[in-house]
Amino acid sequence: MTTAVQHKARPSAHPHDDAPDTSAEFTRIAELPDGPEREALRQRVVEAWMPMAERLAGQYRNRGEALEDLRQVAALGLVKAVNRFDPGRGSAFESFAVPTVVGEIKRHFRDHLWGLHVPRRVQELRNQVRAAHRELCHSLDDHAPDVREIAERTGLCEQDVRTGVEALDSFTPLSLDAPLTGADDGYALLDTLGEREPAYDRVVDREAVRPGLVRLPERERRILYMRFFCDMTQRHIAEQLGISQMHVSRLLSRTCSRLCEQAMAETGPVAGPR
């Protein structure tokens, strides 16, 4: 017959008033083979410790996640703690369960709720800065804590504190459609973003072929100038130089190919003439 879970609380000196005494149940679980009886006893232990898990979940409310979802995550952590706990190690279950449940909640925040990808170290800096800021706000009389004060409280360098402060605003990114502060004409953040400037590519390409242009024979350099800078037709160039239009076409093709090959060999791919 399965032992009933005793819901008596620990003495009031215990830091967790909602921690039931389930030591006998864990001993029994360790003795039972896998099966319905062992699983049913585990389930009753989980139910007995659920108030503690919900209390831990409540400590993380108002951080961008619904309390009910946090309770579900905490319950998952509690189930893991019950399944993994070994009473033979001699430690109390609550000393194992609390960090397991809290770790599950923090992992949930880290893996699922950040709107932007933020490295784990930056997330940890954010948490340290956030906690220190709250503590200092309660202890300082007339001003919010600055970077130096937070650094002294946390033991972090000031650069790490600044990184943590920046990450405070990265949990939920601002929508590009969000109206700008003080704008009453519908002007949004998206309207402040610039567009890609196509002329930049032209500048890069010109600089890439410049060394090759200097090395070209005078006639070929002149043909390129008349065609691409003076916008002259091949027939007009041929008349100016006293050669056939077909010859101008061959010179243009050969010269452009040589310039592209030289530029690619020195700096990487470039676009063709525009």
Q: According to the model, what pLDDT value does residue 249 have?
A: 93
120-175 classified as CATH 3.30.450? no
Exposed/middle/buried for 36, CB within 10 Å: 0-12, 13-18, 19+? exposed
Please state, in angstroms and rounded to a whole number, the distance separating the CA atoms of residues 93 and 18. 13
Residue 12 predicted with pLDDT over 70: no
| Residue of 53, 51, 130 lying closest to 99 (CA atoms) | 53
Torsion, Cα 200 203 209 211, to 10 degrees, reads -130
The larger pLDDT score, comparing residue 45 to residue 64, is at: 45
pLDDT tens for 128-182 read 888 888 788 776 566 778 889 899 989 999 999 998 888 776 666 667 777 777 6
Q: Which pLDDT band holds residue 2 (cuts at 50, 70, 90)?
A: very low
pLDDT tens for 50-76 read 999 999 999 888 776 788 989 999 999
- The proportion of the chain whose per-residue pLDDT surpasses 70, expressed as a percent, equals 80
pLDDT tens for 71-102 read 999 999 999 999 999 888 888 899 999 999 99
Q: According to the model, what pLDDT value does residue 113 have?
A: 62
The average pLDDT across 250-256 equals: 91
Please give the mean pLDDT across all residues of the chain: 81
CATH number belonging to the domain at 23-112, selected among 1.20.120.1810, 1.10.3720.10, 3.30.470.30, 1.10.1060.10: 1.20.120.1810
* Structural fold of domain 199-267: Arc Repressor Mutant, subunit A (1.10.10)
For CATH 1.20.120.1810, list the domain ranges present in the chain: 23-112
What three-state secondary structure class fits 146? Answer: coil
* Residue with tokens 């077909």, as numbered in its chain: 246
| Residue of 51, 5, 8 lying closest to 27 (CA atoms) | 5
Size of the chain, expressed as the number of residues it contains: 274
Q: What angle do CA 38, 39, 40 make, to 5 degrees?
A: 90
* Residue with tokens 């399944």, as numbered in its chain: 83
Tell me the CA distances in angstroms from 79 to 45, 73, 101, 192, one per residue in order.
9, 10, 9, 49
Phi, psi of 217 (to 5 degrees): -60, 155
| Residue of 9, 110, 98, 108 lying closest to 56 (CA atoms) | 98
pLDDT tens for 18-36 read 678 898 999 999 898 999 9
Q: According to the model, what pLDDT value does residue 259 have?
A: 87
Please state, in angstroms and rounded to a whole number, the distance separating the CA atoms of residues 140 and 149. 10
For CATH 1.10.10.10, list the domain ranges present in the chain: 199-267
Q: What is the pTM of this model?
A: 0.44
Q: According to the model, what pLDDT value does residue 57 have?
A: 92
* Residue with tokens 């990114």, as numbered in its chain: 173
